[in-house]
Amino acid sequence: MSQLSREQVREMMADVMAKQGKTLPDDDATALDTFGFRSLDFSELALKVEDEIDEELNFDAPGLRSIETIGDVLDFIGQLVEQA
């Protein structure tokens, strides 16, 4: 298993958005709905992270509901990677 830095997860998130022709904003405080990041995008990001660390991430729906910004996604994924 390998660990991922916040910047590596951010780059993966940018890749997910780039596939849709969208650019990930630089400001971590940017609300997800302002640039079209959806739950399906989160799922794709989680799968990329799982592939990278070779571990399954365990998360629940209530935790996902509190995610509103880019920073929230990065923090949430970071916590999951630490627990994996």
More confident residue, 24 or 1: 24
Report the Cα 40 to chain-centroid distance in Å.
11
Q: Which tens digit of pLDDT belongs to each residue from 18-42?
A: 999 999 999 999 999 999 999 899 9
- Taken in order of first residue, the domains within the chain and their CATH numbers are 6-83 (1.10.1200.10)
Enumerate the H helices of the chain as residue ranges: 6-18, 39-53, 61-65, 70-83
pLDDT at 2: 64
Rg, C-alpha atoms of the chain:
12
Look at the pTM and tell me if it is higher than 0.75: yes
